[in-house]
Structure 1
């Protein structure tokens, strides 16, 4: 099994209980209010016109260059699983590491020679390069110009912007027309707090998006995802207010965790990464309070926490941290 956050079943199997707060992901726990859906959403197959309207709504919300093509998919994960089949031949792929492990895992499963790199400069010469910006789990980030410079040194560059909603100034989408060999992935569910909807997007040249569409098939997203996605992406006021709220939440979490004795290493305004004396012990402690967190097989000290949403979740986290050195 691949190592992931969101594995709440494992937490329940090990620690029992049902009243869990899942902070093991970077999914916003202040979700967008889902509007009532028209009945036709459920009764008919999504039309091409409706799918195109959803892509236009996403392109407008995220400032994509006018010449950029787009495709809606069942989460950014769907795009990640299709990326290894974009090119006719499999060669050398470089993936920024440590990062979201599905990128490397999907490429390896498809027969690519995958090399983990620490810096974008180390990717030069790769047939395919994958970089998460801002990065998960440490929050490292690069400018759009950095990405364009890298694109000139590789065959195809895939930039995963799943957490870029909170820092839109980092997005390459406004300049996406400047490079034909770049594909940009976006998540809807993380920032809008609707991960269960399974909605994400890919943007790039007409040729690359056309190939991705062939791989994805005729109905890659549901009618419900189209309806909710169009509504939420057009709500600029909600998005602007949420960015401000999440910035305050991240500061609140850092203050609370620092007081408990851990050190903030980075992250985004959707998740924070902390250095602990023993990550497994820290996760177990929080789990006894039915708060699930994320640890990593490559670090014995790193623990990642999403941000609580409702006030009662903050109070539970504070109580759990308050007796960190007790039970």
Structure 2
């Protein structure tokens, strides 16, 4: 099994209970209010026109360059699983590390030789390179021009902007027409807090996106995802207000953790990464208060936390940290 956040089943199996707050992911716990859906989204197959409208809404919301093609998929994960088959397998791939482990895992499963690299500059010469920007879990980030410069040194560049809604100034999408060998991935579910909808996007050249579309098949997303996605992506006022709210929430979380003696190592306004004396002990303590967090097999000290949403979740987190054993 690959190591992931969101594995709440494992927490329940180990600790019991049913009233959990899952902070093991970077999914916004202040979700977009889902509108009433027409019955047609359940009864008929999604039309090509509806899918095109959804991609157009995403492109407008995220400022994609006019010449950039797009494809809606069942979450950014669906794109991650298809990307390894865009080029002949067996080549050399570089993946920014540490980062979201599905990129490397999917490439290896498809026969690629994968090298974990700490910096984009170390990727020069790779047949395929993957950068998560901003990065998960440490929040490292690079300007769009840095990504365009990197694209000139690799065969195909994948820029995963799954957490990019909180840092729109970093997005490569407004500049994506400048490079034909770049694919930008975006997640809908994280920022909009609707991960269960399973909606994500890939943007790139018409040739590359056309190949992805053939692999994805004729109905890669549901009618419900199209309807909700179009509505939410057009709601710029909600997105602007949410960015401000999450910025405040991130600062609040950092202050709470500082009081517990945990220093912030980075993150985004959707998740924070903290330095703890012992991450496994910290996770275990929070779990006994039915708050699930994320630890990493490559670090004894890193603990990642998503941000609570409703006020009662903040109170539970503060209470849990209030009886944290001194170290």
Q: Given the two structures, how large is their TM-score scaled by the length of structure 2?
A: 0.99
Partner in structure 1 of residue 264 of structure 2 = 264
Task: Describe the SS at the equivalent of 1:226.
Answer: helix
- CA distance in 2 between counterparts of 1:296 and 1:39 reads 43
- How many residue pairs get aligned? The number is 327
- CA distance in 1 between counterparts of 2:173 and 2:258 reads 35
Partner in structure 2 of residue 286 of structure 1 = 286
Task: Describe the SS at the equivalent of 1:315.
Answer: helix
Task: Describe the SS at the equivalent of 1:185.
Answer: strand
Partner in structure 2 of residue 129 of structure 1 = 129
Equivalent residue runs for 1:197-208 within 5 Å:
197-208=197-208
Identify which range, 88-97 or 63-72, moves more after superposition.
88-97
What 5-or-longer segments of structure 2 have no aligned partner? Answer: none
Contact 2:263 2:275 in 1 (8 A): yes
Equivalent residue runs for 1:87-166 within 5 Å:
87-166=87-166
Task: Describe the SS at the equivalent of 1:115.
Answer: strand
Partner in structure 2 of residue 30 of structure 1 = 30
Cα distance change, pair 277–63 in 1 and its aligned pair in 2 (3 A): same
Task: Describe the SS at the equivalent of 2:71.
Answer: strand
Equivalent residue runs for 1:1-327 within 5 Å:
1-325=1-325
Task: Describe the SS at the equivalent of 1:90.
Answer: coil
Deviation at 1:326, TM superposition (A): 6.6
- CA distance in 2 between counterparts of 1:108 and 1:63 reads 33
Deviation at 1:325, TM superposition (A): 1.4
Contact 2:127 2:155 in 1 (8 A): yes
- CA distance in 1 between counterparts of 2:34 and 2:324 reads 37
- CA distance in 2 between counterparts of 1:103 and 1:89 reads 15
- CA distance in 2 between counterparts of 1:93 and 1:35 reads 42
- CA distance in 1 between counterparts of 2:258 and 2:326 reads 17
Task: Describe the SS at the equivalent of 2:125.
Answer: coil
- CA distance in 2 between counterparts of 1:53 and 1:189 reads 18
Q: Given the two structures, how large is their TM-score scaled by the length of structure 1?
A: 0.99
Identify which range, 153-162 or 79-88, moves more after superposition.
79-88
Q: Deviations over 1:261-284 (max 9, x none)?
A: 111000000000000000000000
Task: Describe the SS at the equivalent of 1:162.
Answer: coil
